[in-house]
A and B are shown apart, each in its own frame.
Chain A
Amino acid sequence: MKLHKFKFTGNAKEYFGIWIVNLFLSIITLGIYTAWAKVRRVRYFYGHTFIDGHNLEYHAKPKSILIGRIIVLGILIIMNFLVSITPLAGVLVIPYLLALPWVINQAMRFNARVTSYRNVRFNFKGTYWQALKIFFLIPLGAILGFGLVIAVLESLFGESLKSLSGLQAVISIIIYLIVLLVSAALFVSYMSKLTSNYIGNNLSFGSADFRTDAKLKPLVANYAFSLLFFVVIVAVFALAGFIAGSMFEITKLLESTQLGNTIPIGNEAYVSAIFGAFIAIYIGMFLGFLFYNAGVRNIAYRATLLDGQHQLQSSISQLQYVWIMVSNLFVTVFTIGLMRPWAAIRTWRYLADNTALLAKNDLGNIVDESTPEGAAASAEFLDIEGFDFGL
């Protein structure tokens, strides 16, 4: 057994130059250069990522990315145009949803096939039906099931909640909330399990397959921790709101005594606390999502074997990951984007430093199984629509 840690050798200064030249050329070519810029950017990150002394390589052709972008842009323009001249065009959402699993597969295939390590390419073999099931049918079924759970709860407790009082009402509310939270936890964790396994089990490296067997139990635990994290954030913001509101109320109180007036003192502190909590729910969901995803990455990677013997590892600290993302955001915004290269390098380095492969023997005996790369359009679609598998 030998532990190969991923090593990232890129640095922010070098990347800044690449980034700013990419940006400049993209602007003056009205976006056409973005395809070349993407290849240069991804090649920089891949090429500086080393496992056992060999780097990753990104082989996508800028022209296929450009064609993909033009196709996607064309479709989006036509769709939006149709929707703006007739509301009936809304039915287009059905073929859109049905095409989505295919698009996801094509994108993953493209991205896998243009990536190589030690001159051997990756590949992705997911089928339409599997993807349809996981990204469409099961979520649909689960949402219906979820609706059913809520309906059952409503009919069981809805009436009694109004008529009951005291302890009984409290117990009913607690049961209601517990059932709701537990079913949400199970649903979300189960979806994460399915998606992780789907991606892992269809990914291959040359002739060697990846196998992912993410277990439900750690995923549910991860959900619970993420929920706790979310609750703490909301509580902190509510407290901050409460304090701010109290200060406001105190100054008002002081003013009123100084003026000798009797301005009625409201409950600004509570209003401000509730306001703070509402903002926090929005922010907390965002951060909770990051926290949750980092946990899923850890679980999915640890449950993945390459060629039945080499074990992937991921040891991200979820709190630190959220901190990196949030501080990156602030640094980027306050430097009108100029520190974005630094932020990107920092994130990538953190992820690489916390990823490793525990290899059973030498990695030099995996055979290539080259296949054509497929279309870039769907990979670009996911790029534009904002999917990010964070490989």
Chain B
Amino acid sequence: MLGNTIQGRFYQAGSTAVQDAKLHKNGDIWQLVLGTESKLLTVEIESVSDRLAGIAHKIILKDIGVFESSDNDGIDAMLETENSFFSRLTRVESSLPLVFVFAVLSVVILVSLYRFGIPALANGAAKVTPSSVLTLMDASSMQVVDRVFFSKSELPEKRRDEIRVLFDELIEQSGPQKLPFRLLFRDGGELGANAIALPGGTVIITDQLIKLSKSDDEISGVLGHEIGHGELRHSLRQIYRVLGIGFMISVIGGDSGQLVEDVVAQAVALGNLSYTRNFEIESDHRSAELMVGMGRDPFAFIELLKRMKKEKDDKNDKKETNWYSTHPSTFDRMANVKKFVDSLSPR
């Protein structure tokens, strides 16, 4: 009989009143004994709380209240719930070797998700995003950047047409396009000499950059670089990747505390910088590929970049840093593009 009785406490429904009690199992019938009384009360079990380490089971008895007992094994045995999901889970949670395995697995999965899984998902998502949505995004971004950074281009129409020809030549060279590429001219204002690619195929080039250039090859190379960003969907991949990491953090950070979350966010921002530099290298290669295909000088744009950099450094009086800058240093780029162009030429 002993195996069929559990000691515990009974909370009467509807108030905080409590008393000691016993729960008996008699065949298929459950009986409750209150305090030291000898009366057996037949009860019906409505539900039982899920098993969790060290926490007393609560058995809800239909209509009359709750029976609570910390004899969790006894309850599992009597209810035959030893193999329910949460009872198994509780055993897993308290097994040192299994916990160790899960800890190692979690770290391995998280690191590989961060390194490979999320970028791969982001690339996939970027590929299937319809270009009509991107066009809308471009239009919206243009409203913002026009208000914040740019003003109307002062470049003569004739010069603009010449550059448009360069741009069209590049588009032609790059083959069939999924994105509606278009070229816009703006006065760079605070940004000075610069070229920007938006996710939907909009390429902006500033008057200052054109003035700084010494040849068409230089401008063509920069435009090729920006077209590369568009074709390879770099900004979109970056947007999806940041979203993915944000989602990952919210999944793992359910109980991380505010301070920890802030620190993680800063670390992720730093990690982004080195990640986007790979995009620059990819775009450099694409530019070189296009330039070689058109018989133009694939290195010319790096000279222009050097001049851009120098102008900026003179203005800001800052030294070039490798870690914080989103673009690789011009020296690295030159070597990189050289290597790439060498690999293009037939041996």
List chain A positions with a Cβ less than 8 A from chain B: 9-10, 14, 16-24, 26-28, 30-31, 34, 37-38, 40-41, 43-44, 47-48, 54-55, 57, 84-87, 117-120, 206, 286, 325-326, 328-329, 332-333, 336-338, 340, 343-344, 347, 363-368, 384, 386, 388
Contact = CB atoms under 8 A, between A and B. Distances in A.
B11 interface: yes
A223 B118 CA distance: 45
9 contacts: A27-B113, A27-B252, A34-B251, A84-B140, A86-B140, A120-B16, A329-B263, A368-B15, A384-B250
Nearest to A290: B259
Given A20-B102, A84-B137, 13 more contacts: A14-B54, A14-B93, A31-B250, A47-B55, A85-B136, A87-B143, A119-B66, A329-B260, A332-B256, A333-B260, A336-B107, A337-B256, A386-B261
A325 B256 CA distance: 11
B90 to A, nearest CB: 9
Nearest to A10: B54
B120 interface: no
Contacts of B93: 14, 17-18, 21
B273 interface: no
A191 B143 CA distance: 39
B52 A44 contact: yes
B17 A364 contact: yes
B22 interface: no
Contact of B257 (A119, A286, A344, A368): A344
Contacts, number: 148
B183 interface: no
Contacts of A333: 260, 263
> Which of under 10, 10 to 19, 20 to 34, or 35 or more describes the interface residues of B?
35 or more
Nearest 7 CB-CB pairs, A to B?
Answer: A47-B55, A119-B11, A17-B93, A118-B16, A85-B136, A31-B251, A329-B259
Contacts of A347: 257
Interface string B184-209: 00000000000000000000000000
A248 B18 CA distance: 70
Given A23-B252, A85-B137, A340-B255, A43 B52 contact: yes
Contact of B18 (A44, A118, A340): A118
B13 A368 contact: yes
A77 to B, nearest CB: 9
Given A85-B133, A85-B140, A21 B55 contact: no
Contacts of A84: 137, 140
B73 to A, nearest CB: 16
B43 to A, nearest CB: 15
B119 interface: no
Contacts of A365: 15-17
Given A14-B54, A16-B99, A23 B143 contact: no
Given A86-B136, A364-B18, A34 B254 contact: yes
